[in-house]
Amino acid sequence: MTGAIADPSGPTVESTEVADLTPERLRDAYRWMVLSRTVDERCLSLQRQGRIGFYAPLAGQEAAQVGTALALKPEDWIFPAYREVAVALVRGTPLGRVFDQMIGNAFDTSKGRQMPNHFAWRDQHYVSASSPIGTQITQAVGAAMAAQRRRDGIVTVTFFGDGATSSNDFHAGLNLAGVFQTPTVFVCQNNQWAISLPREQQTRSATLAEKGSAYGIPGVVVDGNNLRAVYTAVSEARRRAVSGGGPTLIEALVYRFGPHSTSDDPRRYRTDQQVAAAKERDPIALLRAELIESGDWDAARDAQLLERLRAEVATAFEASEAAPPVDPASLFDDVFLTPTPRLEEERREFAEREPMGGPRP
């Protein structure tokens, strides 16, 4: 499978065969993609049942996320938007930790202080998502500048959607990255919709990638449904960045199969026919077809994989759901490195209060 990577400033080039994308790695990539879709379907269902409060689906964007994550090194830092569950999983985040955060239970490393789906895991170098559009872009550039000064030899990678290219932080971030030639890879997952606003009403630019040229940053447009093409583009961008070549803006062309979030009804602004047409290039189906054609996969193994992953997801969520809630007293943790006398006084007063519903057990 080759995928076109279009350079807005030049001719279209074809994705090359990357030597380290062995059949085994492609099977691993396929497993990550199927796992991400399985988690996605499960979370949508759980939110509708009232068992989690909110979710931002990623279906249709698996190749863009898994392909990017596999092209990075563990020491690189991720600055996500809010639907990069696949990236977190590839980086090594256990399923249970994902669901702990979704629920906000006692094992949630954010201690229930973030919205569901706004993950943060320091050991995976995965920075907290935030709801304001585009703020992660300038954060990624700032972190890259720090890494540059420390000569850390890493890159920072930030994800955002097509709508974020109209945000202040997009332009400020790219300008700063261009001026200082920071080791940053900007990954725009152009899923064609900024909630209900279609791509064609977002900008007059022929591509989103060409916006980088205003800041001296090369841009490429990649078929985001093609894992090989994404992996190739990100690998090259990372190589350039760590060798001092500066940042790259990658526009991955994908399509959001589901709603923008569980608070959205996409039937109000797009047709079932549009979605059906996009699903003809489902990234999971494309990679599955390649693996089967090459003899590295078959229908029986595919069915077994799906059954196993569904069981793993169900087991992980049940364990997270059975966990105790966050201790309300954790409200006073992490406020100051050294708690102030006033904070300690408030903690004591809180401990003496009776919770709503009666005395503490």
Q: Which residues are catalytic?
A: 256, 260, 269
DSSP letters, 73-129, are -TTSEEE--S--HHHHHHTT--HHHHHHHHHTBTT-TTTT-S-TT---BGGGTBPPP
Rg for the chain, CA atoms, rounded: 21
Residue with tokens 């420390």, as numbered in its chain: 150
The phi-psi region of residue 190 (left if phi > 0; otherwise alpha if psi is between -120 and 50; otherwise beta) is: beta
Chain centroid offset of residue 77 CA: 12
CA distances from 52 to 81, 100, 298, 315, 317 (A): 19, 10, 35, 16, 11
CA distance 9 to 306: 42
| Closest-CA residue to 312 (of 15, 67, 99, 44) | 99
The one-character DSSP state at 360 is -
**CB 160, CB 144: distance < 8 Å:** no
CA distance 277 to 281: 8
CA distance 329 to 349: 11
The one-character DSSP state at 224 is T
CA distance 255 to 1: 19
160, β-bridge pairs:
188
